[in-house]
Structure 1
């Protein structure tokens, strides 16, 4: 019996290189799709984060018949009474009762001028829903305090809107609403306002433009790019006390809120030069625009090419102008 053996031909070098090239092309085609799918998932999570903040604001309003406010006049005694941010007031409504129930609403929440009885709790407090999952910015920052050592504090990506520097629906008519101008120009015709001689906590009825046409919260979740092409980490939650302090009170530097004065992602200018300035604009790590939370607790994606007059209109709760499509 004759047994015949057939030799098995191996790949040639050319064939192997062709296969590798085809695999490389397939990977090159697949990776952008994977990245887009991941970004879509992160954007959906960001939308949900802001939705939960919106529901928390409405639950707070149902309880106290007013919107959460961000600042009270600073008391010039020792220690300085620099109070909690509006985000602290939402904690019971985002399942953070354990931390909230331990707080003492006294002392210096910025922890830069006086002691804080809450320093240990604030150093442990982490609320994942307060950070955008697409943000490349650090979620934690260390701070040396006046009397409580060094603490690690969460730095959030969502900020409240105090109002618009320009009358809503305009781009060059300065608002006639009450203003404070220590570090830029803070205007209180928005939804998250301070308690001061120029402003009182408002309720939803004060939003005469309609809650679906007025912005409560937006993002500061990416680096700005300055005129030299350098990345700049600037956000309203990035100064003393980080996410949990209101700044130095009404009429001075503030934290965790902004007054709309510049277009989305615009870097530099009066009130937009440091974390404690009051006119840092919205900016987002989501390609093409930012997520915004409206007064009716709905979340919209606002394109970075949106007419600036629409942005000022969204920031002003009482301008009486009709917004175009956004």
Structure 2
């Protein structure tokens, strides 16, 4: 129930973003397309003001500076560095990225996501106090919910038909297969030891504490819950600690449990139901699932 409620809140926030700005957030924006080493805040952060995470949004500085500008200023300080060891103007950012945000984490996965960290308390310029309940693992915010990137074999720059892709934003009218037939957000329960543990912060990979696109989006090009036998498959896939499947929020705002036995096909001319649910524009009726 908690996981369902989390996904519902994310979907509602995405709808409110669309009502306010006329589109869903860009999956992973890129204002410096000539240099892949300049990470931007991902789609997740754009939803913070619609999720009662305004304090975290302000602490990140997301409305004022680019993520790469902050990371360049912070350099390669390791996660073991006390927050007081960071430049004063970025300590709020460090606390925000150290926060355990319940709405972005399924309770079944929470114990897999954090190492212990405590540095007393900190009050930012807006008077918000962050206490030592905040944790951090190498300065990267963790999540177990990622956006649907479509059905590419990876989550790179190509538009794979999902709702959250590289440098594009979409409107309701772009979901030609129907909002009740298209994934928006799903679970990703990769263990902490994997280099692509999910996050809500931003992409692409860069020097400093940031992450690749596979951490904020996943693809339906591989089955749900493929297992750890193939790390390159696991890193791009949706996965969950729920027995037998995973939870997904659809673009219409509904949340459904998807069985890991859902129809999946390696035949590109006859896609399975799972793949069709991940593509906003494939034009094929979904049917029962």
Q: Mean alpha-carbon deviation: is it higher for 102-111 or for 293-302? A: 102-111
**Aligned counterpart in structure 1 of residue 39 of structure 2, from 82, 103, 111:** 82
Structure with higher Rg: it is 1
What residue is the counterpart of 1:325 in the other structure?
288
- Write the distance in 1 (CA, Å) between the matches of 2:38 and 2:181: 35
Contact 1:141 1:152 in 2 (8 A): no
**Partner secondary structure for residue 16 of structure 2:** helix
What residue is the counterpart of 2:164 in the other structure?
192
> How far off is 1:296 after superposition?
0.4
- CA distance change for structure 1 residues 281 and 77 in 2, over 3 Å: closer, same or farther? closer
What residue is the counterpart of 1:60 in the other structure?
17
Q: Deviations over 1:126-182 (max 9, x none)?
A: 321110011165333589xxxxxx85443100000111138xxxxxxxxxxxxxx7x
TM-score (norm 1): 0.64
> How far off is 1:235 after superposition?
7.7
- Write the distance in 2 (CA, Å) between the matches of 1:253 and 1:294: 24
> How far off is 1:281 after superposition?
1.1
Contact 2:100 2:142 in 1 (8 A): no
**Aligned counterpart in structure 2 of residue 100 of structure 1, from 53, 57, 60:** 57
1:13-162 pair list within 5 angstroms: 44-73=1-30, 75=32, 81-102=38-59, 103=61, 104-108=64-68, 111=71, 115=74, 117=90, 119-135=93-109, 137-140=111-114, 151-162=138-149
> How far off is 1:107 after superposition?
4.2
The yes-or-no answer on 1:285 pairing with 2:246 is no
- Write the distance in 2 (CA, Å) between the matches of 1:159 and 1:79: 21
- CA distance change for structure 1 residues 318 and 122 in 2, over 3 Å: closer, same or farther? same
**Alignment RMSD, CA only?**
3.4
**Partner secondary structure for residue 140 of structure 1:** coil
Contact 2:29 2:42 in 1 (8 A): no
Q: Deviations over 1:202-257 (max 9, x none)?
A: 1111000000000011101255xxxxxxxx8548544xxx42112249xx941311
1:175-190 pair list within 5 angstroms: 186-190=158-162
- Write the distance in 1 (CA, Å) between the matches of 2:67 and 2:240: 33
> How far off is 1:282 after superposition?
1.2
What residue is the counterpart of 1:300 in the other structure?
256
What residue is the counterpart of 1:214 in the other structure?
182
Contact 1:82 1:247 in 2 (8 A): yes
- CA distance change for structure 1 residues 312 and 99 in 2, over 3 Å: closer, same or farther? same
- Write the distance in 1 (CA, Å) between the matches of 2:24 and 2:41: 15
> How far off is 1:269 after superposition?
5.2
Contact 1:164 1:316 in 2 (8 A): yes
> How far off is 1:78 after superposition?
9.8
Question: Number of residues paired by the alignment?
Answer: 240
What residue is the counterpart of 1:272 in the other structure?
233
Q: Mean alpha-carbon deviation: is it higher for 66-75 or for 126-135? A: 66-75
**Partner secondary structure for residue 45 of structure 2:** helix
